[in-house]
Structure 1
Amino acid sequence: MSMEQRRQPRLRVLLKGRIHFNNGSSSIDCLVRDMSTTGARLLLSETATLPEKFDLYIPQKERTYRAQLRWRREDGIGVTFDHGAEQQPAETAPDLTMTALLRRVGELEAENAALRTTLTQMMKVQASAV
């Protein structure tokens, strides 16, 4: 039987989360299984190397927490939340709304069309040179 070492008891939860690191350029999905105001236990589907500090975004709470890695096991990791950055507004999290995703798809489709046009022009120039 282990002795509880946490200052705040963690409540059992099942929340989707997303870990962001490398200045937002890298991210990993996770499940938040236990959570308190001071930390959480996270389950990761990927065996990834994480930095000591990262942002944990929880869409259902519309919050981003600045987290610090405390322990790692096969079944997950334990983190504590930095004081002062405990509950940032959702606006500081990456914009993952449906509107933003649809806008990004539109941008990529336009870029794809422009690349096709350029490729077609290059093929015509090459064919006429032969």
Structure 2
Amino acid sequence: MTVDKRSELRQRVFLRGKILFNNGASSIDCLVRDISRVGARLALSETTSLPEVFDIHVAQKDHTYRARLRWRREDGAGVTFLDQEAAKPPVNETGDASVAVLLRRITELETENASLRRLLAEIAGGRVGTA
């Protein structure tokens, strides 16, 4: 079982993104597979090397994140956002605090769901070994 060393829980997403570098002259399409206030995991189909710092534009969120490369594999990369304030979940125009509360509750429920799934997998793994 892998130990997750992240300081923030990431929300699973499936968002189309575009990595921009060389002052916007170069770009690579990607998928944002999970995201938090401080970073994200990107799925990449290209094996092109990435610079240490670049921008990620996510059209569905209408936001561009400044990111630092943390790790790179053949099919993906992990990044840390350099401007963590900009990466906070949005609150609607009226400043309605209930939206922030709902977003926080969704994150809590996703964490609980993931924990229960791990527990079920462990239980199922124990049954297979004893049968």
TM-score above 0.5: yes
Instruction: Give the whole-Å Cα distance in 2 for the aligned partners of 1:70 and 1:86.
Output: 19
**Among the aligned pairs, what percent are the same residue?**
61
Give the 3 Å change call, closer, same or farther, for CA 24–12 of structure 1 in structure 2.
Answer: same
Instruction: Give the whole-Å Cα distance in 1 for the aligned partners of 2:47 and 2:75.
Output: 10
Residue 84 of structure 1: CA displacement? 5.5
Instruction: Give the whole-Å Cα distance in 2 for the aligned partners of 1:71 and 1:12.
Output: 18
Q: Deviations over 1:6-41 (max 9, x none)?
A: 111111100000000001100010000011111000
The count of corresponding residues between Structure 1 and Structure 2 is 87
TM superposition score normalised by structure 2: 0.63
Give the 3 Å change call, closer, same or farther, for CA 71–33 of structure 1 in structure 2.
Answer: same
Contact 1:66 1:85 in 2 (8 A): no
TM superposition score normalised by structure 1: 0.63
Larger radius of gyration: 1
Listed as ranges, the gaps of 5+ residues in structure 1 are 88-130
Instruction: Give the whole-Å Cα distance in 2 for the aligned partners of 1:85 and 1:48.
Output: 29
Partner of 1:47: 47
Matching residue's letter, 1:86: A
Partner of 2:61: 61
Contact 1:34 1:42 in 2 (8 A): yes
Root-mean-square deviation (CA, aligned residues, Å) is: 1.3
| SS across alignment from 2:86 | coil
